[in-house]
Amino acid sequence: MPITAHPSTTLSRRQLLTQLALGAGLLGTAELASAVSWAAAPKVEVWKHPDCGCCQDWIDHLKANGFAVQAYDSPQGNAPTRARLGLPAELGSCHTAVVKGYVIEGHVPAQDIRKLLAQKPQALGLTVPGMPIGSPGMDGPEYDGRKDAYEVLLVTPKLMGAGVHTSVFTHYAS
C-alpha cells in the first residue's frame, strides 16, 4: 500500500523505512546499495521448460543486468503462456517473459528491455524468434565465440483486424 509522505509524493512502505533508516544513520553502504538496487530492479516473470539450460543462462544475463527474475518451470514449456499472451507461435522461442506489461519472447538482450521500458511504446513487446547463437543465453563457451546476426523485433497489434505487426527494434551484426 502506498504511503503519502508529501501531497505530490507517494512512497512504498519499504521506501519509507529505507528513508527513515537513512535519516537515523542505521544503514551502511552495503545495505543502502542493496535497498536502492532492489527498488530499481524491474521484475521479470519467465515461463520456461525446467530442462532448458539456455533459458537459465538468459535469466542469469537479466539478473547480472539488474533485473529481478521470477521463473516458472512448466513441463509444457512456454507455448501455453505465449498463446495466452497473444504472441504468435512463429515469433516464438524457448521462453516467454513479462515485464511491466510487455511480453518478452526469447533471447532479448537486457539493454533492449531497458530501452523498451524507457520508450514505453504502444506494443505487445519484444521478440527474438528462434535461438540465434551469440544472443544472451546462447553465448556460452560451447559456441566457441560464434555470433550470428539477429534482430530484436518490436511486436505491435495490427491497426485493422486481428494479428500483430513486427518492426526491427535493434539489429545485431554477426
Pairing label, strands 150-157, 164-172 = antiparallel
Partners of 165 in beta bridges: 156
For residue 73, CA distances in Å to 47, 125, 172 come to 6, 21, 29
pLDDT at 123: 97
- Domain ranges, ordered by start, for the chain: 1-40, 41-172
Question: What gap in Å lies between CA 166 and CA 141, rounded to an integer?
Answer: 32
Q: Is the pLDDT of residue 56 over 70?
A: yes
Place of cell 543502502: 32
Q: Is the pLDDT of residue 38 over 60?
A: no
Place of cell 486481428: 162
Q: Is the pLDDT of residue 70 over 50?
A: yes
For range 3-13, the mean pLDDT = 39
Q: Is the pLDDT of residue 28 over 70?
A: no
Q: Is the pLDDT of residue 134 over 80?
A: yes
Q: Which three cell numbers stand for residue 38?
A: 532492489
Q: What is the dihedral of CA 126, 130, 134, 135, to 10 degrees?
A: 20
For range 54-77, the mean pLDDT = 96
Q: Are 46 and 34 in contact (CB under 8 A)?
A: no
Q: Which CATH class is domain 41-172?
A: alpha beta
pTM for the structure as a whole: 0.77
